[in-house]
A and B are shown apart, each in its own frame.
Chain A
Amino acid sequence: MTAEYIIELKGVHKWYGEFHVLKNINLSVKKGERIVICGPSGSGKSTVIRCMNYLEEHQQGQIVVDGTELTGDVKHIEQVRKEVGMVFQDFNLFPHLTVLENLTLAPVWVKNVSKSEAEASAMKYLERVKIPEQAYKYPGQLSGGQQQRVAIARSLCMNPKVMLFDEPTSALDPEMISEVLDVMVELAEDGMTMICVTHEMAFAKRVADRVIFMDAGEIVEENEPQAFFDNPQNERTKQFLSQIIQH
């Protein structure tokens, strides 16, 4: 186990009942690396990143995040979740709390940061995602793009070492996608370790160090974006790419 890898998956298998969703996944992510995972729906790409903070349980293999192995042990799980931020397709903001309260809740109650300190850092991150003026509104009063940027800021408030993005733009109207992607690009440029499940190929080309293509629960192909898009090796990858580029 070398320290340069922040996330390591070794021979990970997962079943939903009889259904074999993940088949022998091996993946090592270096500190500062940006990885994009793509693939057709049902290929297991969301499941993979949801295993990385134990929202899903794997049945076989080893997942080590920042030196902590994810087993059923609650202490380990909580340790990992403090270090790993996650952004969801449906934002999952807490609708009964204001934007600012959404951002300060976890720092105050998980990391025991004082309220004033948490608010100061929350405002800093709201400025970074360019919506400080919405701090006292409720999530239901914001547009989808704004909500997703709040969700990103909420994760950043925990100072995570890794950010997981689970199709962060799939639930957004077209004109709102770019405001979210802009924030993600900036985050990547600042050196954040990121693992993104996304269909935004332009984003992948621009920021990814590595693109991983999954199909039917397996990693089919992985490569640098240039080579991945220009010269895919596997037949299934070629087919997938031709389908999404047609439009």
Chain B
Amino acid sequence: MTDKHVQRPDLPPPVSEVGAVGWLRKNLFSSYVNGLMTLLALWLLWQFLPPLLDWALFSANWSGETRADCVGEGACWVFIANRMDQFLYGFYPAQLYWRPNLAGLVFIALMIPLFIKSFAWKNWLGAAILIVYPFIAYLLIHGGWFGLSEVETSKWGGLMLTLVLSAVGIVASLPIGIVLALGRRSKMTMFKSVCIIYIEFWRGIPLITVLFMASVMLPLFFPEGSDFDKLLRALIGITLFQSAYMAEVVRGGLQAIPKGQYEAAASLGLNYPKTMAFIILPQALRLVIPGIVNTFIALFKDTTLVLIIGLFDLLAIIQLALTDAEWLGFDTEGYVFAAAIFWVFCFAMSRYSIALEAKLHTGHKK
């Protein structure tokens, strides 16, 4: 055994492991079943994609003013284009569209720095967006101050209303949900019971019931003549309802944090609020990002239910347009358009959640 051990040099991988051929073999034809599935998927695409593209794009009618302009076989996007303003803003006065537009622009402008890596005040700006921005948006869109004429919430509608409903629901339900989740794990028996009753009550009834209650029943409990804004009632109903779901998602995250984290925080002298704020919640919320975003997406789509209490969100206003005698028979275009808009927003949320998870991932463990 006098030979010195010499480490062998690395050999290049075989062709089957790298390159386009390698990729195809590994991902699409790695086994008979996989190969079969690949062929089946290709066949389905070939069957359904061309007619769909033809209807939606190639044979579609894009320009014109009335239904008479829709002559081809394909979709009549003229209908959508014609009604676009209403789909976006509802019955909001057309000469005031700049106000919601400005509110949207302000939001985008505030969000940009959050995506700049070197920006140092992210936390403060984020908090400002969450807490201050809703008031700015409300003052702009609602008006009634500083020479801006008032636009009642009953005139709000379309995509704008959908965004208002879901944004408020999202922003308000997360903190309430966190408090409820902490309460449910609290050692204070009364507080804990209240949280459990709250969560189980709101989770046990359908959102439609909540909205009906908010719009029909609630006014019965208030003195006659007191007018309590319908949109506000819907917002409160949606927030109370979603916060119960949020609470359970957050609780799932809290349960995944090992006891050692609490003990380490305690042994360093951190009290309960500081332990929660700096140690437990940052980890727990990170773990349940997929669940939280899932709830947000569900909330975003559930806002369509407000149509039953007479609020015209994106879907409701499209349905309303479909009943216009001038444009009868374009249901497919209307619903496809609604679906496309909802899909874009939901998909964006989904991608953002994945990006956030990747960004917050630390180290190899856990």
Is B363 an interface residue when CB atoms closer than 8 A count as contact? yes
Is B17 an interface residue when CB atoms closer than 8 A count as contact? no
Quick one: which of B283-303 are within 8 Å of A by CB?
283, 286
Determine if A55 and B362 form an interchain contact, defined as CB atoms under 8 angstroms apart: no
Contacts of A74 in B (CB 8 A): 271
Contact flag A138-B278 (CB < 8 Å), given A88-B264, A110-B270: no
* B269 in complex: contacting residue of A82, A92, A95, A140, CB < 8 Å: A82
Is B266 an interface residue when CB atoms closer than 8 A count as contact? yes
Q: Whose C-beta in chain B lies nearest to the C-beta of A142?
A: B363
Contacts of A55 in B (CB 8 A): 263, 266-267
Q: Whose C-beta in chain A lies nearest to the C-beta of B279?
A: A94
Is A180 an interface residue when CB atoms closer than 8 A count as contact? no
Q: Mask for A84-108, Cβ within 8 A of B = 1, else 0?
A: 1110101011111000000001100
Determine if B268 and A154 form an interchain contact, defined as CB atoms under 8 angstroms apart: yes
Contacts of A81 in B (CB 8 A): 266-269
How far, in Å, is B356 (CB) from chain A's closest CB? 13
Distance A231 CA – B258 CA, assembled complex (angstroms): 42
Majority secondary structure of chain B interface residues (helix, strand, loop or mixed): helix
Is B366 an interface residue when CB atoms closer than 8 A count as contact? yes
Contact flag A105-B364 (CB < 8 Å), given A90-B260, A95-B283, A96-B286: no
* B366 in complex: contacting residue of A78, A86, A140, A154, CB < 8 Å: A140
Q: Whose C-beta in chain A lies nearest to the C-beta of B274?
A: A109
Determine if A109 and B270 form an interchain contact, defined as CB atoms under 8 angstroms apart: yes
Q: Whose C-beta in chain B lies nearest to the C-beta of A77?
A: B266
Is B31 an interface residue when CB atoms closer than 8 A count as contact? no
Q: Mask for B331-366, Cβ within 8 A of A = 1, else 0?
A: 000000000000000000000000000001011111
Determine if B362 and A106 form an interchain contact, defined as CB atoms under 8 angstroms apart: no
Contacts of B267 in A (CB 8 A): 53, 55, 81, 84-86, 155
Q: Mask for B34-51, Cβ within 8 A of A = 1, else 0?
A: 000000000000000000
Contacts of A154 in B (CB 8 A): 268
How far, in Å, is A57 (CB) from chain B's closest CB? 12
* A158 in complex: contacting residue of B264, B268, B274, B366, CB < 8 Å: B268
Contacts of A82 in B (CB 8 A): 269
Is B261 an interface residue when CB atoms closer than 8 A count as contact? yes
Contact flag A88-B362 (CB < 8 Å), given A105-B278, A110-B269: no
Is A168 an interface residue when CB atoms closer than 8 A count as contact? no
Distance A138 CA – B286 CA, assembled complex (angstroms): 15
Is A141 an interface residue when CB atoms closer than 8 A count as contact? yes
Q: How many chain B residues touch the partner (CB < 8 A)?
A: 24
Contacts of A158 in B (CB 8 A): 268-269
Distance A106 CA – B266 CA, assembled complex (angstroms): 10
Q: Which of B266, B267, B279, B283 has the most CB of A within 10 A?
A: B267
Contact flag A138-B274 (CB < 8 Å), given A88-B260, A105-B268: no
Distance A114 CA – B95 CA, assembled complex (angstroms): 54
Distance A139 CA – B363 CA, assembled complex (angstroms): 7
Distance A90 CA – B258 CA, assembled complex (angstroms): 11
Contacts of B283 in A (CB 8 A): 94-96
Contacts of B282 in A (CB 8 A): 96
Distance A139 CA – B263 CA, assembled complex (angstroms): 17
How far, in Å, is A165 (CB) from chain B's closest CB? 12
Distance A154 CA – B264 CA, assembled complex (angstroms): 10
Determine if B264 and A95 form an interchain contact, defined as CB atoms under 8 angstroms apart: no
Determine if B366 and A95 form an interchain contact, defined as CB atoms under 8 angstroms apart: yes
Q: Whose C-beta in chain B lies nearest to the C-beta of A82?
A: B269
Q: Mask for A130-141, Cβ within 8 A of B = 1, else 0?
A: 000000011111
Distance A105 CA – B271 CA, assembled complex (angstroms): 13
Contacts of B362 in A (CB 8 A): 95-96, 138-141
22 contacts between A and B (CB under 8 A): A55-B263, A81-B266, A85-B267, A88-B263, A92-B261, A92-B264, A94-B264, A94-B265, A94-B283, A96-B286, A105-B270, A109-B274, A109-B278, A110-B269, A138-B362, A138-B363, A139-B365, A140-B365, A141-B363, A141-B364, A154-B268, A158-B269
* Interface residues, chain B, with chain A CB atoms under 8 Å away: 258, 260-261, 263-271, 274, 278-279, 282-283, 286, 360, 362-366
For the complex with contacts A84-B267, A94-B279, A95-B363, 18 further pairs of A-B residues with Cβ separation under 8 Å are A55-B263, A55-B266, A74-B271, A78-B269, A82-B269, A88-B263, A90-B260, A95-B365, A95-B366, A96-B362, A106-B270, A110-B268, A137-B363, A138-B363, A140-B364, A155-B268, A158-B268, A158-B269
Across the A-B interface, give the 4 residue pairs with the lowest CB-CB distance, nearest first.
Answer: A140-B363, A92-B264, A106-B268, A138-B362
